[in-house]
Amino acid sequence: MKKIYLDNNSTTQIDPIVLENMLPFFNIKYGNSSSQSHAFGWEAKAAIDIAREQIANLINAENDEIIFTSGATESNNLAINGLISYKHRESKKSNIITSTIEHKAVLDVCKKVSINGCKTIYVKPNNEGIINIEKIKNLIHENITLISIMHANNEIGTIQPIKEIGKLCEDNNIILHVDAAQSLGKIKIDVKNMKIDMLSISSHKIYGPKGVGALYIKNKKRKTKLEPIIVGGGQENNLRSGTLPTPLIVGFGKACELAFNKIQSDNQRIQKLSNKLINNILDVYPNIKLNGSREHRIPGNINLSFPFLKGLSIINSMPEIAISSGSACTSSSPAPSHVLNEIGISKIDSNTSIRIGIGRFNTDKDIEIASNSIINAIRKKI
Ligand SMILES: *Cc1c(COP(=O)(O)O)cnc(C)c1O
């Protein structure tokens, strides 16, 4: 049985070019980039400098604005916890605005720091999964320090109006943090043009290795001061101590360079495959529901529910197709998806929902097989 991977919003296969670039840094160029007394260290530092530039280039940042972390989860922790902790040290009142459809790695950090005079205020999306800027405007008051809104949603793929939110934040002297783990490499990110102060990104969502990511921190006015979460050797400008994982960083850099060069061709191809899959299923079952805006969504993400299945999940009837169940987004917790709930999907419909994530390495053939499997799985349930 050929397995077909259609869960690219969870993680992606490493691009072979990325892997090839990483390999020498495990067993030949294995120096510590902090060792500046010999050539092994210089070699590692030079490779990390190149990666930093490749990453900065993809989001239009400066090289020294990139802080390496272990992934977007850590970046979100450093951004939100780091900022609020710093404000507390200065004894400043600081509240947060975020959305109800953020990734848990934002929601749980906001919850954790919402003590000692820090409150988090939540803004809801509309039924298309889009956050209305007017709703944020109405929540702004003088003690809002931070607005944290994701660029693209990991379950339903919807894209938020970050540029407008950036303008709003600038006008009100509020720091804007954006979780861009799902949008990086799929839609254009320009931190300058979008007026983003902090941006969380991850390597393994863009065909790079797992265990590495970055936090972009704007350093123009140096208004974004953070308290580090991990202290020690003082690497990364004292913001994230620990020896830098050279192979992972080299891979992340290469993945960003490939994403920069391929963004258009990848998108076109992936969009075509998405349309084909949706249309194949719609042809047979016109009553399926696409969750989240069809127009404002990242290419490759398809989140479907099947109202006529009355809560029955089709996911276990097609073990050869790797997709996610929409109801258990964070697969370790079987609770109904908070995102689907927020866009008005009933519990019973959210139990039927599936998330398909098409990526760079999927083929026409994959889509054909997956369409047939899904159609057959539905047929067996009704
Ligand atoms: C995957 C993801 C994360 C977590 O990223 P890791 O690098 O796996 O820690 C955070 N936010 C969003 C939106 C994601 O999709």
Q: How confident is the model at residue 361 (pLDDT cuts 50, 70, 90)?
A: very high
Evaluate if residue 329 carries a pLDDT over 50. no
Least reliable range by pLDDT among 29-43, 123-137, 212-226, 302-316: 212-226
Q: Is the pLDDT of residue 132 over 60?
A: yes
- Of residues 118, 169, 256, 329, which has the active-site annotation? 329
The mean pLDDT value for 348-370 works out to: 96
Contact 75, 214 (CB under 8 A): yes
Q: What percent of the chain has pLDDT over 90?
A: 90
Q: What's the CA gap between 189 and 88, in Å, rounded? A: 31
What whole-number percentage of the chain has pLDDT above 70? 97
Q: What average pLDDT does the structure give for the chain?
A: 95
Burial 287-321 (b: 16+ CB within 10 A, else e): ebeebbbeeebbbbbbbbbbeebeebbbbebbeeb
The closest-lying atom of ligand 1 relative to the alpha carbon of residue 73 is 9
Interval 29-88: pLDDT, tens: 999 999 999 999 999 999 999 999 999 999 999 999 999 999 999 999 999 999 999 998
Tell me which residue has its CA closest to atom 9 in ligand 1: 73
What six digits make up the tokens of 175?
Answer: 């720091």
Question: Is the pLDDT reported for residue 222 higher than 80?
Answer: no
CB of 181 closer than 6 angstroms to any ligand 1 atom: yes
Q: For the whole model, what pTM was predicted?
A: 0.96
d(CA 111, CA 118): 10
User: Would the CB of 183 count as within 6 Å of ligand 1?
Assistant: no
Residue 311 confidence (pLDDT): 84
329 is catalytic: yes
Closest C-alpha residue for ligand 1 atom 5: 72
| Cβ of 355 less than 6 Å from ligand 1 | no
Q: Is residue 132 a contact partner of residue 143, using CB atoms and an 8 Å limit?
A: no
Mean pLDDT of 343-372: 96
- Mutate which of 153, 182, 298 for ligand 1? The one with the most ligand atoms within 8 Å of its CB, which is 182
Region 110-117: mean pLDDT is: 91
Ligand 1 pocket check for 182: Cβ under 6 Å: yes
